Amino acid sequence: MRLLVLGAGDVRRLLPYTECAGAMRDALAALARGEVHQPLRTVIRPPGAAGLMALMPACRAAGGEEAGAAFGLKAICIFPGNPAAGLDTHQGAVLLSSAETGEPLALLNASAVTEIRTAAVSAVATELLARPDAAELAIIGTGVQARSHLLAIAEARPLRRVRVAGRDPAKARRFAEDMRGRTTVPVTACASAAEAAEGAGIVVTATSSAEPVLRKEWLAPGTHVNAVGACLPHARELDTETMAAAALFTDSRESAASEAGDYVLAHAEGAIGPGHIRAEIGELLTGAALGRSAGAEITVFESLGLAVEDLAAAGLAYRKATEQNAGTWVDF
């Protein structure tokens, strides 16, 4: 048995954002059509541990073999203290297995897969939900996902300006300087999240904060928000007022109701009810639901990150790697 190993560099070369966004559209539409079996992720967090591990399996019944595999499993560790050591908070691997025999086909760096597919999904949501004239992007956060979201959204639509803010103004300035060399869009560091969000048509929150970093009073009418960082039920990036006022969309209702602190905590406060989620992104793609209903409406995409997204990204990378003779093959 031969196993393809794709490191972080391989994954980034094989998964350009625009191409990955196409795979995410296909995967989320398949989920909406009921072609995907995907249980909620299992989270293992021992008391006192510095981080946690999440296990994310998925099986796509239709189109899986075309993507190189029908079964996928991501084992991802999330360690919030990693950036201080120069490491991504997300560490792990994605395993791709044959649809016919169950044999392992490929092992991919999960940090790179997560980095790219998460931003690609937000780019899809932005195309579906942001106003056509939205050209100013605000990013709250200065880490890996902040960088990937800037690049992915800049590829998805023309931007006039990007403003970034984080807990450490010095990091925001370094982020802006670095990104100026990677995009043609002007990038400016701001002293606060409120300053960054002022007048922005698109906002991304990509932080590890447990408390709100974005407030409704900072948002202009018609703003679209991609809420990326709050993937645990006790952590939130958006205040309750934003959640109550916005038209809410997500990648999975089940995941949002169980895992998204933005939703769970606002629901616990009685500010929103079970019907507050208007639609899943896949339902917009299949035409089963409608998106933005008015130009002045604030829209929020609550991104949890799904196993089917990892499966689709890994399948695309595997197929391209075999065509291009990329990666490393090992006897297994």
Greatest Cα pair distance in the chain = 58
Total domains in the chain come to 2
Residue for token digits 């998460």?
Answer: 118
Query: Are 266 and 144 in a shared domain?
Result: yes
Give the CATH number of the domain where residue 150 resides: 3.40.50.720
Query: Are 45 and 154 in a shared domain?
Result: no
Phi/psi for 133 (5° steps) reads -95, 5
Give the CATH number of the domain where residue 315 resides: 3.30.1780.10
CA–CA separation, 276 and 174 (whole Å)? 38
Burial 120-145 (b: 16+ CB within 10 A, else e): bbbbbbbebbbbeebbbbbbbbbbbb
Cβ contact 206:229 at 8 Å: yes
CA–CA separation, 161 and 157 (whole Å)? 12
Query: Are 278 and 315 in a shared domain?
Result: no
- Which range of residues forms the domain containing residue 208? 120-302
Query: Are 60 and 127 in a shared domain?
Result: no
Burial 290-303 (b: 16+ CB within 10 A, else e): ebbeeeebbbbbbb
pTM, whole model, 2 decimals? 0.95
Query: Are 135 and 205 in a shared domain?
Result: yes
Nearest to 220 by CA among 295, 164, 159: 295
Starting at the earlier edge strand, list the strands of the sheet with 202-205: 187-189, 161-165, 136-140, 202-205, 224-227, 299-302, 247-250, 277-280
Query: Are 12 and 127 in a shared domain?
Result: no
- 220: which 2 tokens? 């202009």
Query: Are 80 and 167 in a shared domain?
Result: no
Query: Are 62 and 198 in a shared domain?
Result: no
Query: Are 13 and 92 in a shared domain?
Result: yes
The one-digit pLDDT tens for each residue of the chain (332 residues) are: 899 999 999 999 999 999 999 999 999 999 999 999 999 999 999 998 999 999 999 998 755 444 444 799 999 998 988 888 888 888 999 999 988 889 999 999 999 999 999 999 999 999 999 999 999 999 999 999 999 999 999 999 999 999 999 999 999 999 999 998 899 999 999 999 999 999 999 999 999 899 999 999 999 999 999 999 888 888 999 999 999 999 999 999 999 999 999 999 999 999 998 899 999 999 999 999 999 999 999 999 999 999 999 999 999 999 999 999 999 999 99
Cβ contact 166:188 at 8 Å: no
Query: Are 160 and 286 in a shared domain?
Result: yes
